[in-house]
Amino acid sequence: MRPLPESPSSSSPRPNTAFRLLRGQLSPAEFAASVRRAAREIGEQVSCDARYIGRVESGAIRCPNYAYERVFRHMFPGRALTDLGFTPREAVRGRPVGPAAVPAPRPEPLPGPEPVSRPEPLPRPEPEHRAPADIDVFEESELLRRAFMAGGAAAAADAVRTSRRAGQAEAAAVEEAVRRIRLLDDRHGADSLYVHTARPLSAAYALLDAGGYGRSVVERLYAGAGELAISVGWLAHDSGRLTDARSHYAEALATARVTGDPALEAHAFCNTAFLARDAGRPREAVRAAQAAQRA
């Protein structure tokens, strides 16, 4: 039997034409700038650039993370992700949103003739966040670790290791670690990045425990550590580590309460609501969302 010709859809993503139409006459860079402006309007931080828009339109990003989802819903009110050309989240993540359905028992097969030999099914494309075939997974992991630590996280960790008094530079390093996580998450996905975030997160909170610096540094460190906990929590959430995510979001919420930061508190409650929804706890999700509105 002659082998079936390879289907183009099995080796390349399907372009997101709906999203391309929404961009209109704007260039990818101009549209990315409008996404960043919309994010600032609702207190989100996304590292959107022309490359990200290109990946969305090419179909490489089948479903955005929750931060981008909130921004896109703000930009295009009343439209669901599917209206924007994205694949439903539960189909992309490979796990149901909400309580897991109990599969119905399969009926006993009826007797019949011998099965006819059929060609093997075509392989499915690899998920977006996995390493390319020509890059070893351990090599990619090391590259991610170096890229992340080079982005400012190492400076915060070094301040703790050397017992150096923290200042504006260390506060900026914690903020840069947050930005770096979001950038690398957009490019590589959460699963391979999460394992590299324990050290900078611990370092950020160790800086807070050390004390002995001015009020402006304290405020930046608290806000940065809280946002870092939320970002690390999102990586855990998106990679299926729901228990870890719940712990990180709770840590961020406690940080917000200690420092009296309503924006950080709202952000933590918002992510907690999404987590509760995905974990199949709808009432908790509603309560967390209501708490975010009150913050």
* First vs last C-alpha separation in the chain: 66
**Which DSSP symbol is given to 295?**
-
- The answer to whether 39 and 48 have CB atoms below 8 angstroms apart is yes
Rounded mean pLDDT of 59-68? 86
DSSP per position, 196-252: TSHHHHHHHHHHHHH--S-HHHHHHHHHHHHHHHHHHHHHHHHTT-HHHHHHHHHHH
Give me the pLDDT at residue 193, please. 81
Cα dist from 19 to 48, 49, 62, 75, 202, whole Å: 15, 15, 11, 12, 39
Identify the band that residue 52 occupies on the pLDDT scale cut at 50, 70 and 90: confident
More confident residue, 86 or 131: 86
Give the mean pLDDT of the chain: 75
pLDDT tens digits, residue range 140-175?
A: 344 444 444 444 445 555 544 444 555 778 888 888
* Least confident among 73-82, 84-93, 99-108, 131-140: 131-140
User: What's the CA gap between 212 and 170, in Å, rounded?
Assistant: 13
Higher per-residue pLDDT: 247 or 90: 247
274-291, pLDDT tens digit by residue? 999 988 999 999 999 999
Instruction: Name the nearest CA neighbour of 60 among 16, 6, 94.
Output: 16
Q: Within 10 Å of residue 111's Cβ, how many Cβ atoms?
A: 5
pLDDT of residue 75: 93
Q: How confident is the model at residue 270 (pLDDT cuts 50, 70, 90)?
A: very high
Contact 120, 127 (CB under 8 A): no
Position with higher pLDDT, 147 vs 183: 183
**Position of tokens 């400012």?**
152
Q: Which is higher by pLDDT, 249 or 121? A: 249
pLDDT of residue 251: 92
The domain ranges of the chain are 12-93, 137-294
Work out the pLDDT band at 113, boundaries 50, 70, 90: very low
pLDDT at 50: 85
- At the top level of CATH, the class of 137-294 is mainly alpha
Q: How confident is the model at residue 91 (pLDDT cuts 50, 70, 90)?
A: confident
Q: Which two tokens stand for residue 244?
A: 């870890």
Residue 124, pLDDT > 70, answer no
**Closest alpha carbon to 224 in 237, 248, 211, 205:** 205
pLDDT at position 93: 57
89-103 burial, b at 16+ Cβ within 10 Å, e below that, comes to: beebbeeeeeeeeee
**C-alpha dihedral sign at 242, 244, 248, 251:** positive
